[in-house]
């Protein structure tokens, strides 16, 4: 689990030219077939829930600018939302924190509840607070975990995490999860451990090493592009990647997967080797109870979507079913028929609808109304 181990692994080339789809992280994303089938059946597949804003790191790219706690939903209210999601046939609950979920006082209660309702607890964590006992608890409760790995070089990881010694603690948490069995056995294409890596000019030269590390250890690689939001605007403005650099590393990683691991995938999707279709099957519940299609699609902050100065789609005021059935969210789930530009009529719509969150954010910043922004073409696509 060190930089030297990742770089010195012998990687024999494959002899076969037959490819398989890449592995997925259980409870995190769903296939195009699953997404469209759920949409057409009026079924949720997942919800994403914020639990707290407190955090034990100060990542320089944090979109939520986590740190101090704010008053949000109570545990009872979050538990009620989770129960409503189960009634809508959701298969997983993505616990995304806003801050670091594992330091929230009711974290274990929430994981136990999700598991008891026969859904997958899918946890986003920087893994700093995950010791051996917590790792074993997560393994026993059918959890998937998305950790953090921005660099295999400790000094770079410490810089990006905003704290000295962060790399050692992050890797320690990942090691505990591996030893607890999250990388062993099970279905070969349904993984239980992943790591998010925010790509920037700081770590561009080691993205392939991180990818090899993940593939060799049965870890799901979740590459996210550094964007000008949150703390990144102040701390990392000089490190944004160009479109050419992003295109370049995606093409290189596709070649790596074909050459060494036998995987083939569409290179145009927002998440590398993993399409994002959550607008078709998921709802995002903020700490304040506001419901969005996804984290950056901030309907609750747009004046045009307020009623009497208040955002109506809040779980304190409406049921999850009522919000799901609302005309606005029906529009979201059928965004594939409204897409504009090169996304309209694209032959890959069953796998990719572009990054709707990015399209929305850029569109509203340009003065477009919410629906117009949401259906704009994906500017991240290099097809």
Neighbouring residues of 83: CB distance < 8 A, sequence distance ≥ 6: 117
pLDDT per residue as tens digits for the range 60-98? 888 765 555 667 999 999 999 999 999 999 999 999 977
pTM here is 0.92
Q: How far is CA 101 from the centre of its chain?
A: 14
- pLDDT score of 231: 78
Nearest one of 220, 167, 177 to 57, comparing CA atoms: 167
CA quadruple 121, 128, 199, 36: dihedral, nearest 10:
0
pLDDT per residue as tens digits for the range 200-221? 999 999 999 999 999 999 999 9
Check pLDDT > 50 for residue 312: yes
Q: What is the C-alpha to C-alpha distance for residues 183 and 219, in angstroms, rounded to an integer? A: 7
Check pLDDT > 70 for residue 12: no
Is residue 9 very low, low, confident or very high in pLDDT (cuts 50, 70, 90)?
low
């Amino acid at each position: 689990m060190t930089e030297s181990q990742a770089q010195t692994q012998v990687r024999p080339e494959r002899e076969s030219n037959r490819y398989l789809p890449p592995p997925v992280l259980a409870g995190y994303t769903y296939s195009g077939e699953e997404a469209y089938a759920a949409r057409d059946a009026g079924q949720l597949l997942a919800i994403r829930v914020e639990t707290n804003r407190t955090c034990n790191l100060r990542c320089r790219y944090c979109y939520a600018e986590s740190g101090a706690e704010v008053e949000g939903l109570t545990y009872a209210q979050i538990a009620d939302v989770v129960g409503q999601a189960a009634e809508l046939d959701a298969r997983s609950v993505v616990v995304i924190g806003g801050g670091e979920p594992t330091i929230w006082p009711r974290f274990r209660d929430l994981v136990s509840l999700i598991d008891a309702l026969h859904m997958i607890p899918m946890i986003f964590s920087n893994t700093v607070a995950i010791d051996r006992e917590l790792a074993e608890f997560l393994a026993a409760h059918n959890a998937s975990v998305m950790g953090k790995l921005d660099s295999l070089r400790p000094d770079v990881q410490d810089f990006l995490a905003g704290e000295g010694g962060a790399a050692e603690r992050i890797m320690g948490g990942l090691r505990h999860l591996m030893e607890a069995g999250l990388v062993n056995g099970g279905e070969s294409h349904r993984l239980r451990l992943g790591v998010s890596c925010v790509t920037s000019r700081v770590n561009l030269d080691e993205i392939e090493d991180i990818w090899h590390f993940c593939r060799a250890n049965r870890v799901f690689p979740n590459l996210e592009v550094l964007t000008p939001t949150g703390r990144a605007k102040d701390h990392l403005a000089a490190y944004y990647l160009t479109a050419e650099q992003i295109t370049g590393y995606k093409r290189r990683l596709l070649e790596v997967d074909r050459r060494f691991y036998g995987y083939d995938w569409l290179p145009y999707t927002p998440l590398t080797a993993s399409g994002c279709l959550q607008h078709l099957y998921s709802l995002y519940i903020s700490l304040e109870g506001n419901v969005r299609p996804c984290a950056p699609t901030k309907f609750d902050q747009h004046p045009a979507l307020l009623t009497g100065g208040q955002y109506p789609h809040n779980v304190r005021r409406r049921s999850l079913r009522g919000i799901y059935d609302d005309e606005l969210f029906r529009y979201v789930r059928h965004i594939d028929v409204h897409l504009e530009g090169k996304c309209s009529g694209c032959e890959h719509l069953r796998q990719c609808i572009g990054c709707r969150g990015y399209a929305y954010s850029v569109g509203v910043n340009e003065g477009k109304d919410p629906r117009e922004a949401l259906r704009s073409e994906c500017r991240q696509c290099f097809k």
